[in-house]
Amino acid sequence: MEQLSATAYVILGFVRNEPRSGYEIKAVVDNSTRFFWAASYGQIYPELKRLAEAGLIVGSDVPTGGRRRTVYEITADGEEELRAWLRQEPETFEMRDEGLLKLFFADALPREEAVAILRSMRDKRRAVNAQLQALKQMKGELDDPFPMIVLQGGLEFTEWFADWCERMEARLLDSALDERSG
Amino acid sequence: MEQLSATAYVILGFVRNEPRSGYEIKAVVDNSTRFFWAASYGQIYPELKRLAEAGLIVGSDVPTGGRRRTVYEITADGEEELRAWLRQEPETFEMRDEGLLKLFFADALPREEAVAILRSMRDKRRAVNAQLQALKQMKGELDDPFPMIVLQGGLEFTEWFADWCERMEARLLDSALDERSG
DNA sequence: ACAGGCATGTAAATAGTTACATGATTCG
DNA sequence: CGAATCATGTAACTATTTACATGCCTGT
pLDDT at A142: 79
- Residue-wise pLDDT tens for chain A (182 aa)? 567 999 999 999 999 999 999 999 999 999 999 999 999 999 999 999 999 999 999 999 999 888 999 999 999 999 999 999 999 999 999 999 999 999 999 999 999 999 999 999 999 999 999 999 999 998 877 789 999 999 999 999 999 999 999 999 999 998 876 666 65
SS3 call for B19: coil
Are B150 and A103 a contacting pair at CB < 8 A?
Answer: yes
DSSP tag of A55: T
Q: Is A84 on the interface with B (CB under 8 A)?
A: no
CA distance A153 to chain B (A): 8
Contacts of B137 (CB under 8 A, 6+ apart): none
**What structural domains does chain B harbor?**
6-87 (1.10.10.10), 98-181 (1.20.58)
Closest residue to D14 measured CA to C1′? B5
From the list A83, A98, A175, the residue facing B91 with the nearest CB is: A98
pLDDT at B66: 83
pLDDT above 70 coverage of chain B, percent: 96
Q: How far apart are CA A97 and CA B90, in angstroms?
A: 8
Beta strands across the sheet bearing A57-61 = A20-21, A70-74, A57-61
Q: How far apart are CA A15 and CA A81, in angstroms?
A: 13
- Specify the pairing of strand A93-97 against strand B93-97: antiparallel
> Please, which positions of strand C sit below 7 A from a protein CB?
5-12, 14-20, 23-26
Instruction: Report the nucleotide nearest the CA of residue B65, measured to C1'.
Output: D25
Instruction: Report the nucleotide nearest the CA of residue B26, measured to C1'.
Output: C7
Over residues B44-83, the pLDDT tens digits come to: 999 999 999 999 999 999 998 888 999 999 999 999 999 9
CA distance A172 to chain B (A): 9
Burial tier of A126 (Cβ tally within 10 Å: 0-12, 13-18, 19+): middle
Over residues B100-147, the pLDDT tens digits come to: 999 999 999 999 999 999 999 999 999 999 999 999 998 877 789 999
B5 membership: H or E segment, kind and range: none
Write out the DSSP string of B98-134.
HHHHHHHTGGGS-HHHHHHHHHHHHHHHHHHHHHHHH
pLDDT at A181: 63
Cα dist from A102 to A127, B7, B26, B27, B59, whole Å: 20, 12, 18, 19, 24
Q: How far apart are CA A21 and CA A118, in angstroms?
A: 41
Alpha helices in A54-145 (DSSP H): 76-87, 98-104, 111-138
Closest Cα to residue A33, out of A19, A14, A56, A18? Answer: A14
What global pTM score does this model have? 0.94
Instruction: Report the nucleotide nearest the CA of residue B63, measured to C1'.
Output: C7
Q: Is B74 on the interface with A (CB under 8 A)?
A: no
- Is residue A91 within 8 A of residue B98, CB to CB? The reply is yes
Q: How far apart are CA A177 and CA B13, in angstroms?
A: 26
A148 C-beta less than 7 Å away from strand C:
no
Residue B11 Cα to chain centre, angstroms: 14
Phi, psi of B57 (to 5 degrees): -140, 160
